[in-house]
Amino acid sequence: MQGNSKKIVSVFLILAFLSIQIVGVFANNPYVTLRFGSRGNEVVRLQQALRNKGYYNSAVDGIYGKITENAVINFQRDNRLTIDGIAGRQTQSKLYEAATVSRGSSTTRNSASANVYWLSRIIHAEAGAEPYTGKVAVGNVVLNRVHSREFPNTIYNVIFEYYKNIPQFSPVADGTIYNTPSQESIQAAHDALSGSRPVGNSTYFFNPNKATGQWIVANKRYVTRIGNHVFYQ
């Protein structure tokens, strides 16, 4: 009996030691790698942190889909991390170190440069092949939305607005919003921000060769056509 008791005590001590070791491993590795397809509370935490910094503007649903992946890619690009769309230890550590800092603050880029940053990207994605006036016109539309009560009140939120889970601008859906803009698109953003208004109060535009724009045509007033885009208000 005494021999068996000693064996039981020994086994217990070994198991206790292993438990401490395992707990230690997890304590030193608090980040669970998250990627496309991941689900759960850790994804909720990730989405909320991305939203707090201005990188995520969709539902915090705990589902690591394309929108979350694109937000991670954009965060990685801005912070000079490995750009793979996977939220591993390095990405999460950087993201959570100051989750309350928002994009556009003095620690990332000031609001003026953030406006140019995003406006030039939507201009390039929507009107990269359009004439210069057409580029400025797209910026004009975005700014008109910012100043309208019907839309969000920042450039970033206008660009990344969703309606019934569908992005208002197709480049957000296909990822081209993250492409580097041309110098002409950057200049067009500056001109639009400086007050150039080639399409007046227009808040909608579309390319008739790619879309019917049925709702826009039926509910909004035609303003003009520039290049391949028609504009409505």
Query: Per the domain annotation, does 141 fall within a domain?
Result: yes
Helices 111-127, 132-146: axis angle to 10 degrees equals 130
pLDDT of the residue at 102: 40
Query: Per the domain annotation, does 74 fall within a domain?
Result: yes
pLDDT of the residue at 41: 82
Domain shared by 72 and 167, yes or no:
no
Domain shared by 78 and 131, yes or no:
no
Domain shared by 72 and 129, yes or no:
no
Domain shared by 227 and 134, yes or no:
yes
Query: Per the domain annotation, does 147 fall within a domain?
Result: yes
Give the CATH number, domain containing residue 68: 1.10.101.10
Query: Per the domain annotation, does 87 fall within a domain?
Result: yes
Domain shared by 153 and 74, yes or no:
no
Query: Per the domain annotation, does 19 fall within a domain?
Result: no
Domain shared by 82 and 53, yes or no:
yes
Number of domains making up the chain: 2
Query: Per the domain annotation, does 17 fall within a domain?
Result: no
Domain shared by 80 and 144, yes or no:
no
Query: Per the domain annotation, does 91 fall within a domain?
Result: yes
Give the CATH number, domain containing residue 153: 1.10.10.2520
Domain shared by 119 and 142, yes or no:
yes
pLDDT along the chain (233 residues), means of 10: 50 45 39 92 85 83 94 91 94 72 41 86 97 96 95 91 88 90 95 93 97 95 97 98
Which range of residues forms the domain containing residue 161?
111-232
